[in-house]
Amino acid sequence: MFKDSRIFVAGHSGLLGSAMLKELGKAGYSNLIYVSHRHLDLTDKSAVFDYFSQNLPEYVFLAAGKVGGIADNKAYPASYLHVNLAIQDNVFEAACKFEVKNVVFYASSCTYPRNCPQPMKEEHLLTGPIEPTSQGYAAAKIAGLFACRSYNDQYDNRRFIALLPNTIYGPYDNFDLSSSHVLPALIRRFYQACLSDDKQVTLWGTGDVRREFVFSEDVARASIFAVENVDMLENCHYNVGCSADHSIKELAEKIAVITGYRGSIVWDTTKQDGAPRKMLDCTRFQGLGWMPEMNFDNALKLTYDWFVQNYSEIINR
């Protein structure tokens, strides 16, 4: 990419999209294109084609999509499947028609088998059943991974870059208790418990499952690195993580300390845990020269501070 290349960040106001704008700006890229969902519905093919024909982006970071936690994925699997498939298909087709140079697509660790060997390697994809609570979302992301390979094969290029980050967190995350991932949900639960002076917080599951969390700005930097070094990439997907994980109990205890919560934590073991562990083997991508930069505790505090500063807006959405 040149510093004045036309770069479209889809989903610019969300968790990853906002980090993309920040990191692209820091790297000196000045011609950034973005539009709100209100003015462009990426599930609408004709609207997507019109937008691409008018703006002619040279590079696309596809950070838009429908994302949520266990409860929401379990309740609305068809919605997660349909919305993500539609967005991917429309953007991929427009990218080909209007000769976009590179599109960065983001998959998810839930595409790997539920009982996958740990840490999970790229070649473990489709070697076993996936987690039932995220089947709709995972199916869409698996389709996206194969779409990247298929388009690259058919058109004999490396237009589509497939990155598979583990659970992303950071500023501009979704903190809605019914649809968020575990980390932002815990931040909100403990913060509100402090506001209400609650003596007990009840959390789902055993707390024993382990999860890897990667900071949004690290994923953004990985994305820029991938495009800037596209000639080194193979036609495959690359895991992007931080090579460390935490049990949900450990995460809850860290967030309790950050928020100042001093009450008890109770685990409701009648609720589902999800996959027992989800840690990525990032050897392949890190071998190209990228490494995560953020310390987990520092990034967690940054995320909490952003949440507190924006709390009134978050609860009124």
Binning the chain into helix, strand and coil, the percentages to the nearest 5 are 45, 15, 40
Residue range of the domain that includes 102 = 7-315
Q: Which of 142, 171, 281, 282 is nearest to 222 (CA)?
A: 282
Q: Which of 52, 25, 31, 57 is nearest to 40 (CA)?
A: 52
* Residue 213 within a domain: yes
**Tell me, what DSSP letter sits at residue 280?**
B
* Residue 70 within a domain: yes
Contact partners, residue 58, CB within 8 Å, separation at least 6: 1, 5, 6, 7, 100, 101
Distance, CA of 84 to CA of 45 (rounded, Å) = 13
* Residue 2 within a domain: no
Domain count for the chain: 1
Residues counted in the chain: 317
* Residue positions annotated with a catalytic role: 137
Q: Which pTM does this prediction carry?
A: 0.95
* Residue 241 within a domain: yes
* Residue 248 within a domain: yes
Distance, CA of 246 to CA of 265 (rounded, Å) = 17
The domain spanning residue 302 has which CATH number?
A: 3.40.50.720
**Cross-strand pairs, 263:** none
* Residue 173 within a domain: yes
* Residue 214 within a domain: yes
* Residue 233 within a domain: yes
Residue 31 tokens, joined = 């011609």
How far CA 221 is from CA of 25, 91, 140, 292, in Å, comes to 11, 22, 24, 8
Q: Which of 224, 212, 217 is nearest to 292 (CA)?
A: 217
Distance, CA of 71 to CA of 56 (rounded, Å) = 38
What is the pLDDT tens value at each position of the chain, 317 positions in all? 999 999 999 999 999 999 999 999 999 999 999 999 999 999 999 999 999 999 999 999 999 999 988 888 889 999 999 999 999 999 999 999 999 999 999 999 999 999 999 999 999 999 999 999 899 999 999 999 999 999 999 998 989 999 999 999 999 999 998 888 999 999 999 999 999 999 999 999 999 999 999 999 999 999 999 999 999 999 999 999 998 999 999 999 999 999 999 999 999 999 888 788 999 999 999 999 999 999 999 999 999 999 999 999 998 87
Distance, CA of 217 to CA of 138 (rounded, Å) = 23
Asked if 91 and 102 touch (Cβ cutoff 8 Å), the reply is no
Asked if 217 and 170 touch (Cβ cutoff 8 Å), the reply is yes
